[in-house]
Structure formats: C-alpha cells, structure tokens
Structure 1
Amino acid sequence: MGYDRGKQLFSSPHRLELLRALRSKPADTKALTDELSISRVTVQRHTNGCCELGWVRKSDGRYELTPVGEHVCEAATAFLDRLTVLENHEEAVRTLAAVDDSFDPLLLADARISVAEPNSPHDPIIHYRNAMTETNTTAVRGILPVFSELLIEVHHELLEGGTETEVVAPQSVLETAPPPEDVPSSAFTLYTLEETVDFGVTVTDETVLVGVYDDGTFVACIESAEPAFREWATGLYDRYRERATRVPLETAASDGAPQSGLEPSE
C-alpha cells in the first residue's frame, strides 16, 4: 500500500510541489497556478487526485492539507532530502557510517563540506585551518588520527591564547610528535588510544569539524553548527575518550617520551 501511494505521489513532481505549497498556507486554484507556474488544468488534476487520496481537502473555496497530507508531505520531503545528501556526499556518508553505523545522513544536510580534488588537493586542510583560526571558542575537544604540522600549529596558537584543549590520539601519533615547547599544562589534557583511528573530530563552542582521511591523507572536511550534528560528534568523541588513557604530561616529559604533538616542530 505504501509503495502504491508513493507511486501516486511521485508520478509527477508537481504533486509534492502542490503539497509543499499548501503546507505553507491554504490556497485556491489561481494562487496555486501562479505559485507553481503550471497550467490551471494541471493544478486542478493534481488537487483532485490529492483529494481522492485524502491528502487535500477543499474548504471555503481554498485547498488545504489534511492531517494525513501533512504527514505525507513531511515524509516525502525527508525522503528526498536523504537521497540528495546520499547523492551529493556519498564518500562522507560512507566514512561516517563506517565510524558509527547509526549515523544519520540527514545530519549532513546543512553541513559545509570541502573535498580534496586533483586541482585543489589542499582544500580540506585549508578549510580546517581557517575555521579554527577564526573561532572564538574557549575550549576544544578533539580526536587526532595523524600527525600534521599544520594542524599542530593551529592548535598550538589556540593553546597559547588560553583555549582549554583536550585531545585523544593513538599511541602511534604520539610517537611521531616532536617534544613539547611551552605547552601550558593547565590548559591541555591528553589521552592516548592503543587503537588507530582513520577520522578526526574537533568540537568547539561554535561548531564541529570532522576530518575524513584516506591512508593518512586529509581528504575531506565536514563542518556543521547544527545541534543534532554536534550532539552526534560529541557523543562519538566521548566514547573514544572513555576507552582512552590519560597521559600525565609532566611524567611523560620527565621520561623524555614523545608528547602531544600540539606543538610545531623546529
């Protein structure tokens, strides 16, 4: 039954356009004709069809959605939005679904995504650097999957400015990081993971950035300030931090062990 109703809805793009128009406000045939830029005959055919399906009713000379029509319009819009995200951001969806199989692709609907292309391979890292340089955040929490001098430099500047920073990084990343230089330990907390990770997460007061990596190369940067995306990213970060081990910076320094990597190398 649902499939049959779907066929009737999507048999013409005008039907969903009609429902969306009526979702905003009731309208008569002339108003719908003007708004949808289709013929009066076409409008009449689709309003009649939607009335027969119980999605639209006529009251005082104007058409309006029924409660069922409201739900049909909402469900169809969400369905098409999901398909659009899957079409436009297939690689990002594939990566994030591998990280968290409960990830909802619709979380990317309003995200800003930069992807490394042959003619612009550095777009993701530039995107990340600009976002972090422009932020006014008081705190940063992040997962650092690889050692990158550029990323380190950006975060070192934030630390010097007093931004409280909490980082989770695989042990393999810490082993490649340079020794610390003037890191304010009161503002910096480091956790280490035994496992490797192939994605990055940065949560600030204002926005969330997720890095997509391919064999250690930063290939896409996803940025969103939407509350639902932030909730998902924060939950992901918390899960990794819970299974990580905190590294006492003073102990590591006295042992001469590699440090956080949040300092630019010489």
Structure 2
Amino acid sequence: MSTNVTEIFDLLSDRYELLQLLAAESYSQQQLVKKTELSQSTVSRALTRLQDLGIVSESDGQYEITLLGVLVHDKYESHIAEFEQLYEAKGILHELPAEVPIDPALLAGAEVTTSKPHAPDAPLAPILRLTREATTIKCAANVLHTGYRETFENRMCESELETEFVITEAVAEQSRAIDNGYDRTPREDGRVDMYKTDTLPYSLFLVETTTGTYTGLVVSADGGTQGTLVNSSDEAYQWAQNQYEQFKSEATRWDPYSDA
C-alpha cells in the first residue's frame, strides 16, 4: 500500500466529518471549527493534510472538495456501508468456520434475519416467502426444517414448480423417515431432482420467481436456525450458482424411494 493511501485512510478515520461537510458545500476554516466543535489548530492541521493529498483545495479562504476528494469520499462511504453489512451479519457469520466460502457480494444489500429467544423460527420467514413465490428452486441443504418441508410440499402440489436439491446424508435419512406422509407425484413426474453428499457448511437457496432471482443462505447451530441472508443482486446469485454447482459436482444422484 502506498504512503498516500495509508495516510488517506488514517486521516479519514480521524477527521471524516470534515470531508463529509466539504462534500456538501464549501466552508471557511472558521465555519468548519464551529460546525465540528474541533479546535482551530486541529482543523487547520487536517485541512493542510487534505490539501497535500489533493482531496481539498482552498481559494480566498474557502475550502472545497476536489474531484479526487469526491471519489475518495464516495469510495470511503461505500466501504463503511460494506463493513456495516458485515457486522449486521456477524451473529450468523460467527457460526461458520473461517475457511467456509462466502463472497462479500452475498452480504451487500442483503436482508439479514437472526434468531431471537422469543422468535426462534423468524429466520425462516424470508425463505418461506420466496418458496411460496418460486417458479424454480435449487437448494443445497444441511438441515431439514419441518416448516419449510410443508411449505415446499404445498407449493409443489399447487404449481408447476421445478426443483433440484443437494442434501447431506443426515438430511436424506430424515427425509426418507417422514416421506410417507407426502404426495410422491411431483417426484414421480420428474419435477424434483435430488443429490446426496457427505456434508455441507450451510443451506443455500437459489430461487427464481416471476419478478426476479434471489439467493438465500441459512446457517444453523445448536439444533436451530441461527439466521438467514437473502439477496436479490445478480452478483450474489452468480456466486451462489457457482457454489451450488460445486456442491452438486461432489454429490451423487439420490432416489428417495430406492434402497440405495
């Protein structure tokens, strides 16, 4: 990292309020002192540093942001937003090992829902909503939720929903144990493809609806759902598609009605 970039980060972390003000309009040094309640010497030193870095210019005692400053300001704000999104999801991310593949694109603008003592099933609500609206679903699942299973089965029976699942051995056994209670027609008419694998780090949903595509990630811990992330961006969907295909390539086709 260059000296200028390091200095910019250091300065913005200390005196970002000055750049925010100048991004909106020009100010004199004294006006900035009043606006920020910083000392005259502190504001003077910060403005000198900002000028030296080409972020701020001065004319007739008025300080204004430069084009470089505008771009630096916008980029810095986007980084702040990204960090805020990371920390909004920290309760979910803490349940995953460091080596688990997660792309930041999945977090950018995501709807984050975490479990609460009074609402332990709240994280499933966004996934259930998407399932009710889905025209196609691809899912890699490491946990079988009874509530989701019922919503999925109802959707399969009332629509032409097409689905593909990659599930773990444990989920396959649980699914087989309760399968007698559900209509087999959607599976027998080829609208459900299923694959079985050893383990999965989380449950991953790729959902197409009539209005768009959505990516959902479900993290489970201690026998319950810790939280979900739902994102409608193309970048998140592309990452999820690649990750799903990787999971699928490591799985084998599974027939829940066979003895295999």
Among 118, 137, 151, the alignment partner of 1:140 is 137
Q: Assess if the C-alpha contact under 8 Å between 2:103 and 2:239 holds in 1.
A: no
How does 1:32-181 map onto structure 2 within 5 Å?
45=44, 49-57=49-57, 63-67=64-68, 69-95=69-95, 98=98, 100-101=100-101, 103-105=102-104, 107-133=106-132, 135=133, 137-160=134-157, 161-177=159-175, 178-179=179-180, 181=183
How does 1:173-192 map onto structure 2 within 5 Å?
173-177=171-175, 178-179=179-180, 181-184=183-186, 185-192=189-196
Q: Assess if the C-alpha contact under 8 Å between 2:56 and 2:66 holds in 1.
A: yes
Q: Assess if the C-alpha contact under 8 Å between 1:111 and 1:222 holds in 2.
A: yes
Among 246, 250, 253, the alignment partner of 1:246 is 253
Counterpart residue identity of residue 235, structure 2: A
How does 1:185-204 map onto structure 2 within 5 Å?
185-193=189-197, 195-204=198-207
Question: What root-mean-square deviation, in Å, do the aligned CA atoms of Structure 1 and Structure 2 show?
Answer: 3.3
Between the aligned partners of 1:215 and 1:201, the Cα distance in structure 2 is: 18
Q: Which residue of 1 aligns with 2:230?
A: 223
Q: Assess if the C-alpha contact under 8 Å between 2:165 and 2:194 holds in 1.
A: yes
Between the aligned partners of 1:149 and 1:108, the Cα distance in structure 2 is: 27
Shift in CA distance, 162/37, structure 1 to aligned 2, threshold 3 Å: farther
Q: Assess if the C-alpha contact under 8 Å between 1:198 and 1:214 holds in 2.
A: no
Q: Percent identity?
A: 19
Shift in CA distance, 16/242, structure 1 to aligned 2, threshold 3 Å: farther
Q: Gapped runs of 5+ residues in structure 1?
A: 259-266
Q: Assess if the C-alpha contact under 8 Å between 1:145 and 1:198 holds in 2.
A: yes
SS of equivalent to 1:186: coil
Q: TM-score, normalised by structure 1?
A: 0.75
SS of equivalent to 2:92: helix
C-alpha displacement of 1:82: 3.5
SS of equivalent to 2:86: helix
Counterpart residue identity of residue 85, structure 2: V
C-alpha displacement of 1:95: 4.4
